[in-house]
Amino acid sequence: MFYNAKNENIQLDGTDCDYISFGTGKENLIMLPGVGDGFKTARGIAVPFAFMYSGFAQNFKVYVFSRRNVLPEDFSTADMADDIDKIMDMIGIKSASVFGVSQGGMISQQLAIRHPERVKKLVLAVTASRPNELMKEALESWIKMAESDDYAGIMLDTAKRSYTGKYLERGIKMNSLLAKMKPKDYSRFITLCRSCLSHDVYDMLQEISCPTFIVGADKDLVLGGEASIEMHDKINGSTLYMYEGYSHGVYEQAKDFNGRILDYLTAL
């Protein structure tokens, strides 16, 4: 199997959680995705992820955790971080570097604050420590579309907010194809969006003591570039890199993104 890629599932508090693992390194790395997990969990993507993140696979044993499959209506980013803590305990991960993108970055912040012994290094990519007006506008519009069964609208708006330049047209075409696979249920996605709107750890960021790398994008149309800058100002000793001319989907669009993250995680 490619880089020991495995599709896995674990029982958790009366429900279950999909996750994948891959890689041959000795150190652990946990990756946490954004609200798109509300539509499609990590189930079945171990091999393509191992291929996409082959650089990480050579250096780490990588785990990508989805949120639990059945979510209570009011389930916060703190609750989601506590789930990660429980799962780490269940599968024997004492500590790991943690790389969170968008909402995954919010959960990562909570994990580093609530369970600091779990996090060796922290990467917070295109994420925020508290809601801002741009973030509220984006997420509230997605919630309304979800409540109206407008999956195509969510996909189109996501593309417009995520990509820039020539990549925008490609992103719109790609998301238009994805829009044909309409979900049967929007409840997980809505819960994840609402948890972002209630996420606020701004006044607790100074409690994060592990080495932290913050990556933002100055044209981010989901949560704004300022969200990354204010985290950097509050987290002692953190490192900030701002991409210029990119939006929220910089992690897909910028060719040097994975390499930049990997360099930070592997630096002594």
Q: What is the pLDDT of residues 163-172, one digit of tens each?
A: 998 898 887 8
CA distance 147 to 138: 14
Domain of 170, CATH number, reads: 3.40.50.1820
Instruction: Please answer whether residues 122 and 129 qualify as being in contact, where contact means their C-beta atoms are separated by less than 8 angstroms.
Output: no
In angstroms, the CA 232 to CA 247 distance is: 18
What confidence tens digit (pLDDT) does each residue in 59-74 have? 999 999 999 999 998 9
Task: Confirm if 255 and 172 have CB atoms less than 8 A apart.
Answer: no
Give CA–CA dist 97/60, Å, rounded: 9
Alpha carbon distance 34, 103 (integer Å)? 4
Query: Would you say 153 and 145 are in contact if contact means Cβ atoms under 8 Å apart?
Result: yes
For residue 186, is pLDDT > 80? yes
The Cα 195–Cα 76 span in angstroms is 5
What's the whole-number average pLDDT of the chain? 96
Tokens of 111: 């994990």
CA gap 43, 64 in Å, rounded: 10
23, 62 Cβ separation under 8 angstroms = yes
Specify the pLDDT at position 182: 87
pLDDT 10s digits, 241-257: 999 999 999 999 999 99
Question: Which 8-state DSSP code applies to residue 150?
Answer: -
Give SS3 for 223.
coil
- Given a cut of 80, whether residue 211 has pLDDT beyond it is yes
Tell me which residue of 18, 8, 147, 15 sits closest to 70, measured CA to CA: 15
Indicate the pairing of strand 6-12 with strand 15-22: antiparallel
- Lay out the sheet containing 96-101: strands in order across: 6-12, 15-22, 60-68, 27-32, 96-101, 119-125, 212-217, 239-243
Label the pairing between strands 212-217 and 239-243. parallel
Could you tell me the residue range of the domain that residue 142 belongs to?
A: 2-266
Both tokens of 60, joined, read: 């780490």
Q: pTM (2 decimals)? A: 0.96
Q: Kindly give the pairing relationship between strand 239-243 and strand 96-101.
A: unpaired
Is residue 1's pLDDT more than 70? Answer: no
In total, how many domains does the chain have?
1
Q: Find where tokens 């150190």 sit.
A: 27
Cα gap 201→112, rounded to integer Å:
11
- Measured between alpha carbons, how far apart are the two ends of the chain, in Å? 30
Report which of residues 171 and 235 the model is more confident about.
235
Distance of CA 188 to the CA centre of its chain: 15
